[in-house]
């Protein structure tokens, strides 16, 4: 018998193999594939047993998986190899907080600060540990130091607001909380993913607007659209049991509870449900539950009216959603549902809403409704300009006469507008239940034509892309900002940024968009770039090295500069490009 010779690795193989393993492990850790990442880190450690970073990354993966005791062992091995590793000490502090070992956490964060005294994150984390020990004055000092070190970070202000609220300094706490929200409107979502997770101040009863869910303190076109839809239902739900799917902040469910006998708001987000329960707790006929549109936590045939506004486009399980709606509806129940018109909302303006998963064209929406209901009436909704003549005497009359023109004469007739931005459908298996006239107008007495005109004027954004100097030209394989162009929408002033970046010394995990030293947007590097994959075919990460994001310039200033920088896995940041912009309003005719 001839024995096959065992395969041997050359010195070159030994050098390349750990690097490939580390890159893949880091990628899998970012993707949440923790078991695969842990396996690869262990293999890499066998090949490079003296690399403290490998033990550190392995510990991080184990901690994310909840294997805290194993994670502690790996972090301590990293510290044995590199006693001056502030990050390893910081990781140990975070694990200690999860284990509720707050004295240990304080020890490790103190050590991390001793090694790296200008890192604001360690002061924030130390402050959180001190809060748990009810050492509030020391915690305040830590958060103030964090703000001093990084005044453009929301977390110092946010955490300071929390400790001040525990000291019953509510007015001061609220001011710091609002400062945190101004620095980072995504704070409410980010806090769910962060170790710095603490409740908003007691006196704050508003959620931060992230763009995913409407909240009632947001003004402008979006307010008209959302409040009008719920207003349509006030007579339909009178005296009925109602389900509001994807209830979000809860404002819509609260509106429905004005006339309904009972309302249940269901939302997938636990924090939103908790918020709504707290804010609207005074309404005895209203409750909120955690659930999904494809798994509604209610008995079969228990609901008279289901309301689903701007829900269906946020997922792709449309059939499952409709089946669940039919299950909970009584046999002659009603569904009131809205959906953006993909043609007008997205295709024509070349606009992409990052929170939308699957939008529908009119034919697709109609086909879906036809499949599950015998009868439905379809309406369109859009914002348009008009003139109103109205009584100056206080009265409750509801009727309004419609006038329009054909460029030759003025006619007294209802006017059906072309190209609706949204569809609204009234559906039932009982023909008599959909005999409501939803044709209507929503008015806000605090708005005027002049204000509306100024808010919806056309704008042009002029941009110039400028290169940044590189402190370490070898840090990256390459990068580019391919596009900084205006997004054509009538109600916002937005800039589309596209590009790619490939890390060489360290993997690039995200891109930050910075304005006046404040991070206004952060996006992951996860956009397909086949052109980059072809140019860098030897790099496995090249195919997904792109980024694409939209920045609302209207929330910033009329002219300014955006810094686009790469955030690496080793916590370093590399400036890539600057985008100078100027917003110019189109002259009115």
My answer on whether 265 and 350 are in the same domain is yes
My answer on whether 246 and 376 are in the same domain is yes
Q: Quick one: DSSP state of residue 574? A: E
Rounded to the nearest angstrom, the gap between the alpha carbon of residue 191 and the centroid of all alpha carbons in its chain is 11
My answer on whether 568 and 533 are in the same domain is yes
Q: How many angstroms separate the CA atoms of 56 and 52, rounded?
A: 6
What crossing angle do the helices spanning 68-81 and 52-65 adopt, rounded to 10°?
Answer: 170
Domain-located, residue 7: no
My answer on whether 34 and 172 are in the same domain is yes
pLDDT at 102: 92
For 366-425, what is each residue's pLDDT tens digit?
A: 999 999 999 999 999 988 777 777 667 665 555 667 777 666 777 777 666 778 889 999
Binned at pLDDT 50, 70 and 90, residue 443 comes out as confident
Q: How many angstroms separate the CA atoms of 104 and 110, rounded?
A: 10
- The H-or-E segment that residue 422 falls in is strand 422-428
List, in sequence order, the alpha helices (H) in 68-119: 68-81, 86-98, 102-115
Q: How many angstroms separate the CA atoms of 44 and 312, rounded?
A: 45
Q: How many angstroms separate the CA atoms of 441 and 447, rounded?
A: 14
Tell which residue, 384, 463, 458, has the closest CA to residue 422: 384
Q: Could you list the beta-strand ranges (E) of 257-415.
A: 262-267, 286-290, 303-308, 329-340, 375-381, 403-405, 410-412
For 71-129, what is each residue's pLDDT tens digit?
A: 899 999 989 988 888 888 999 999 999 899 999 999 999 999 998 888 888 999 999 99
230 within 8 A of 263, measured Cβ to Cβ: no
Q: Could you list the beta-strand ranges (E) of 136-228.
A: none
My answer on whether 231 and 374 are in the same domain is yes
Share of the chain above pLDDT 90, in %: 37
pLDDT at 127: 92
Domain-located, residue 396: no
My answer on whether 125 and 161 are in the same domain is yes
List, in sequence order, the alpha helices (H) in 425-500: 449-455
My answer on whether 509 and 577 are in the same domain is yes
At residue 183, φ and ψ (nearest 5 deg) are: -70, -35
For 312-354, what is each residue's pLDDT tens digit?
A: 998 999 999 999 999 999 999 999 999 999 998 888 776 677 6
Give the three-state DSSP class for 426: strand
pLDDT at 580: 87
Is the pLDDT assigned to residue 451 strictly greater than 50? no
552 within 8 A of 493, measured Cβ to Cβ: yes
* CATH number, domain with residue 84: 1.25.40.10
My answer on whether 429 and 459 are in the same domain is no
Domain-located, residue 151: yes
- Integer CA distances (angstroms), 490 to 175, 229, 454, 458, 586, in order: 33, 21, 11, 6, 12
**419 Cβ contact partners less than 8 Å away, ≥ 6 residues apart:** 341, 343, 344, 348, 382
Q: Which residues is 251 bridged to in the sheet?
A: none
pLDDT at 574: 92
Domain-located, residue 298: yes
Domain-located, residue 309: yes
For 453-472, what is each residue's pLDDT tens digit?
A: 444 445 678 888 888 888 88
Edge-to-edge strand ranges of the sheet holding 559-568: 459-467, 573-585, 559-568, 508-515, 518-524
Q: The domain containing residue 293 runs over which residues?
A: 221-384+411-433
Q: Which residues is 243 bridged to in the sheet?
A: 264, 306
Say how many domains are in the chain: 3
Q: How many angstroms separate the CA atoms of 511 and 567, rounded?
A: 6
My answer on whether 181 and 245 are in the same domain is no
At residue 188, φ and ψ (nearest 5 deg) are: -60, -40
* CATH number, domain with residue 274: 3.40.50.150
pLDDT at 235: 92
Q: Tokens representing 59?
A: 């510990």
377 within 8 A of 426, measured Cβ to Cβ: yes
Domain-located, residue 181: yes
| Last residue within a domain, chosen from 169, 191, 213 | 191
Q: Say what the pTM is.
A: 0.48
My answer on whether 503 and 545 are in the same domain is yes
Q: Tokens representing 60?
A: 């991080």
* CATH number, domain with residue 486: 2.60.40
| Last residue within a domain, chosen from 191, 206, 239 | 191
Domain-located, residue 201: no
My answer on whether 476 and 575 are in the same domain is yes
| Last residue within a domain, chosen from 433, 468, 498 | 433
Domain-located, residue 197: no
Tell which residue, 143, 100, 220, 300, has the closest CA to residue 490: 220
My answer on whether 227 and 340 are in the same domain is yes
């Amino acid at each position: 018998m001839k024995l096959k010779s065992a395969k041997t690795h050359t010195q070159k193989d030994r050098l390349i193999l750990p690097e490939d393993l580390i890159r893949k492990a880091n990628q899998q850790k970012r993707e949440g594939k923790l078991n695969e990442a842990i396996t690869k880190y262990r293999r890499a450690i066998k090949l490079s047993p003296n690399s403290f970073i490998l033990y550190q990354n392995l510990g991080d993966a184990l901690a994310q998986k909840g294997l805290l005791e194993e994670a502690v062992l790996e972090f301590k091995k990293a510290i044995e190899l590199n006693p001056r590793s502030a990050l390893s000490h910081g990781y140990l502090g975070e694990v200690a907080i999860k284990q509720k070992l707050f004295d240990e956490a304080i020890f490790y964060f103190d050590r991390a600060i001793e090694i790296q005294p200008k890192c604001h994150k360690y002061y924030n984390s130390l402050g959180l540990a001190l809060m748990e020990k009810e050492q509030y004055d020391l915690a305040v000092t830590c958060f103030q130091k964090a703000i001093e070190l990084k005044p453009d970070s929301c977390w110092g202000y946010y955490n300071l607001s929390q400790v001040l609220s525990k000291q019953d300094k509510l007015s001061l706490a609220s001011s710091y909380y609002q400062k945190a929200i101004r620095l980072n409107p995504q704070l409410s979502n980010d806090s769910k993913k962060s170790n710095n997770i603490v409740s908003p101040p007691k006196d704050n009863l508003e959620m931060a607007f992230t763009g995913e869910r409407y909240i009632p303190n947001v003004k402008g076109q979006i307010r008209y659209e959302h409040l009008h839809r719920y207003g349509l239902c006030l007579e339909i739900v009178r005296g009925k049991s109602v389900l509001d799917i994807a209830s979000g902040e809860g404002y819509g469910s609260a509106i429905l509870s004005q006339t309904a006998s009972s309302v249940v708001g269901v939302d997938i987000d636990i924090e939103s449900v908790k918020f709504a329960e707290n804010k609207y707790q005074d309404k005895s006929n209203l409750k909120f539950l955690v659930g999904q549109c494809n798994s509604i936590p209610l008995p079969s045939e228990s609901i008279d009216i289901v309301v689903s506004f701007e829900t269906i486009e946020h997922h792709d399980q449309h059939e499952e959603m409709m089946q669940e709606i039919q299950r909970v509806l009584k046999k002659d129940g009603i569904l009131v549902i809205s959906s953006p018109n993909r043609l007008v909302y997205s295709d024509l303006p070349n606009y992409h809403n990052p929170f939308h998963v699957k939008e529908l064209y009119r034919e697709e929406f109609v086909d879906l409704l036809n499949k599950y209901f015998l009868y439905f009436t379809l309406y369109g909704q859009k914002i348009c300009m008009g003139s109103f003549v109205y009584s100056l005497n206080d009265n409750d009359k509801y009727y309004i006469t419609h006038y329009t023109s054909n460029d030759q004469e003025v006619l007294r007739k209802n006017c059906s507008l072309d190209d609706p931005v949204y569809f609204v459908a009234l559906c039932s298996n009982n023909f008599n239940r959909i005999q409501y006239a939803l044709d209507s107008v929503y008015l806000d007495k605090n708005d005027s034509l002049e204000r509306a005109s100024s808010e919806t004027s056309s704008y042009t954004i002029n941009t110039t892309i400028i290169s940044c100097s590189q402190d370490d030209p070898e840090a990256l394989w390459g990068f580019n900002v391919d596009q900084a162009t205006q997004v054509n929408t009538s109600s916002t002033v937005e800039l589309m940024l596209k590009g790619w970046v490939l890390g060489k010394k360290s993997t690039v995990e995200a891109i930050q968009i910075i304005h006046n030293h404040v991070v206004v947007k952060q996006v992951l590097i996860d956009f397909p770039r086949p052109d980059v994959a072809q140019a860098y075919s030897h790099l496995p990460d090249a195919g997904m090295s792109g980024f694409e994001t939209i920045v609302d310039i209207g929330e910033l200033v009329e002219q300014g500069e955006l810094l686009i920088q790469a955030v690496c896995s080793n916590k370093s940041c590399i400036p890539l490009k600057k985008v100078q912009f100027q917003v110019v309003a189109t002259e009115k005719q």
